[in-house]
Every structure is written in structure tokens, then in C-alpha cells.
Structure 1
């Protein structure tokens, strides 16, 4: 399953929100990736998330496969579309 989301944090996804995304992703047993452009990373890797350099307004795709994939995509998408501190 995959869905596209728009980053809504005015400061983009810097270390604190990236850590929150990683922590949420690790709560799921399914495989989760986040893609921006032609680059795709493991959502359970903070280094990977930071390497995407997600900025305000960027379109990113969250993909998951396995148990709880729909819940994982929706929860990470909600985080991406909120203003994370």
C-alpha cells in the first residue's frame, strides 16, 4: 500500500520530527519506506529520513507492506502532514 503526502512542517523534517517518525515506524512490524523524488529510504532509519531533506511543501510517498500496512501508512502520513515540533 502506498499514499502520497505533503510535508506541512514549516521547518521541514529535521532531526526531532525525523526521530518521531522513526519511532512511530518502528512500532509497526511491516516494512515501511518513504520516497521523495527518485530516492527511497527505510522509514525506520533516522539517517535515511534525514537524507531525504524533506522540506515544507515537498510531496513524499509512504509505502508499506506486511502486517498493519494501512495503519502504518496513515499514521506516518498524518505525522508528515502535521506541524511536528
Structure 2
């Protein structure tokens, strides 16, 4: 399992557009990818699940991936977060 923590920098948090971007990024990989926030872990390939978290600006989220391409999945999601101005890394676990 690979995990990485990010801080959400989008002023509106993870609303529809950012959630869609994250789901698209995660869906490119075979790994099981979850987003964790406020004690809940949700499949990052589910737009409804991601939206249900209600992640606000400034929140810390953790992305966890398990599978043969878990490292690539984390890197791809991190790149999507940076490119879209959604979040930045906090620490590698």
C-alpha cells in the first residue's frame, strides 16, 4: 500500500469539478485507490462517494493505493492535483 497526504488548496474544496478530475485520474489505473478524510475512506473512482465527503478548503486528505500500479496511481493523482491547483503534498507515509 502506498499513501500520500495532501492539503486541499482549492478555495471551494473538493466540489464537482475537482471531484471529477480526481475520479478521472484514479480511473486510469488498475490499483484500488481510496481517498480518506475525517475518518472516512471512499473509493476514489466513485464521483458520488468523493462528493459525499464534503472536503473543504484547507483540509488534509490522504490518498491510498493498493495494486500493481499503486505508485503510478499516486503519482498521477498528485500530478492532477498540482496541475489543476487543487492540492499540494504534505508528507509521504
After TM superposition, the score normalised by the length of structure 1 is: 0.88
The answer on whether the counterparts of 1:6 and 1:60 sit within 8 Å (CA) in structure 2 is: yes
Q: Which has the higher strand share?
A: 2
User: SS at 1:32's partner residue?
Assistant: strand
Which residue of structure 1 lines up, in the alignment, with residue 80 of structure 2?
Answer: 79
| Residue correspondences, number | 84
**1:31-77 deviation per Cα after TM superposition (whole angstroms, max 9, x unaligned):** 00000021010000000100111111100010000021112112223
Gaps of 5+ in 1: none
Q: 1:55 to 1:80 in 2, by over 3 A?
A: farther
CA RMSD of aligned residues (A): 1.4
Q: 1:57 to 1:79 in 2, by over 3 A?
A: farther
Which residue of structure 2 lines up, in the alignment, with residue 68 of structure 1?
Answer: 69
2: distance between equivalents of 1:49 and 1:80? 14
The answer on whether the counterparts of 1:23 and 1:44 sit within 8 Å (CA) in structure 2 is: yes
2: distance between equivalents of 1:35 and 1:7? 12
Which residue of structure 2 lines up, in the alignment, with residue 8 of structure 1?
Answer: 9
2: distance between equivalents of 1:41 and 1:24? 15
Equivalence map 1:30-69=2 (5 Å): 30-69=31-70
Gaps of 5+ in 2: 87-93
